[in-house]
Amino acid sequence: MRTLPCAGVSGAPVSVITHHALAAVVSAVSTTEFGPEALPGKLEDARWVAASALIHHRVLVSLLGRCTVAPLQFGTLCRDAGAVGEMVDRHYRQLDEALARVHGATEWDVKLSCDRRALLEHLGRTHPRLRRMADDAAALSEGAAFFVRRSADECARQEVVTLVAAHALEARERLTRVARAAVARAVPPATRPGGSEIVLHEAYLVADEDRERFFAAVAALRCASGSSGLTFGLNGPWPAYSFVQLGPDPLA
């Protein structure tokens, strides 16, 4: 067993345990926090979970570029080094397949956000039908113009839905052609009606040699969206969390 120059979740050194052709990166944790009686309560403490998961994440990030990493879920527990080897034996095929899948690649997070107010204003300036309806309303009496504007508002809302769906579909098609794999993530509900909201959130597994092509695809999507109120966010590189399905192993 050898140690790495970083600390684990409980502040203990991070060690490497080799077993067959694989190596597990581990650190000791205290039963005060991670024991079977304490852990359920700790997992309900959002601050504790966020702080501990961040340390877990930093350890994994420190390994990027140094070796191929198949990240296990935060909270994967084994009673001792022997149990680590037993876990590797039980999941050897899954781990071997996961390592092959993510070898030479990292995870990138892509979000498409929509500022609906800005998008509505953009459509009002650029959409031919909406511009015609605005001109028609300006030439009518206030009473007649009210119904034209209401119809224009409904037309604009439908156009927003269509335009967002088209951008999301184009993003998936372009980025999936470059990425090795893709996983859709849950989109949070809008919290501010009319404000900015995430309408697409996906993780992409991108091979190192395809990284520049992936960046270029995202840049092209950003250019196509222009100043419409649709914006693309790109974050990474991350360990391939979304592409390794092995969950926490029972404490044994």
Q: What is the pLDDT of residue 250?
A: 47
Q: What burial class does residue 118 get, using C-beta atoms within 10 Å of its C-beta: 0-12 exposed, 13-18 middle, 19+ buried?
A: middle
Q: Do 82 and 164 sit in the same domain of this protein?
A: no
Mean pLDDT lowest among 91-95, 179-183, 184-188, 237-241: 184-188
233/135: higher pLDDT: 233
Structural domain ending residue among the three candidates 45, 69, 103: 103
Tell me the pLDDT tens digit for each residue of 112-125. Answer: 988 877 766 766 66
Structural domain ending residue among the three candidates 103, 124, 146: 103
With 90 as the cut, is the pLDDT of residue 209 above it? yes
Q: What is the pLDDT of residue 138?
A: 61
Pairing relationship of beta strands 230-238 and 181-184 according to DSSP bridges: unpaired
**Which pTM does this prediction carry?**
0.79
Q: In terms of DSSP H, where are the helices of 91-248?
A: 92-102, 116-126, 128-138, 142-178, 211-225
State which residues form the domain around 59.
2-103
Q: What is the pLDDT of residue 116?
A: 77
Mean pLDDT (whole number) for 85-97 = 89
Binned at pLDDT 50, 70 and 90, residue 216 comes out as very high
CA–CA distance, 102 with 1 (Å, rounded to integer): 25
Q: What burial class does residue 28 get, using C-beta atoms within 10 Å of its C-beta: 0-12 exposed, 13-18 middle, 19+ buried?
A: middle
Domain membership flag for residue 149 = yes
With 90 as the cut, is the pLDDT of residue 13 above it? no
Binned at pLDDT 50, 70 and 90, residue 153 comes out as low
Q: What is the pLDDT of residue 117?
A: 78
Tell me the pLDDT tens digit for each residue of 237-252. Answer: 999 999 987 755 544 4
Domain membership flag for residue 144 = yes
52/120: higher pLDDT: 52
Binned at pLDDT 50, 70 and 90, residue 179 comes out as very high
Domain membership flag for residue 244 = no
Average pLDDT score over the chain: 82
Number of domains in the chain: 2
Tally of CB atoms within 10 A around 173: 10
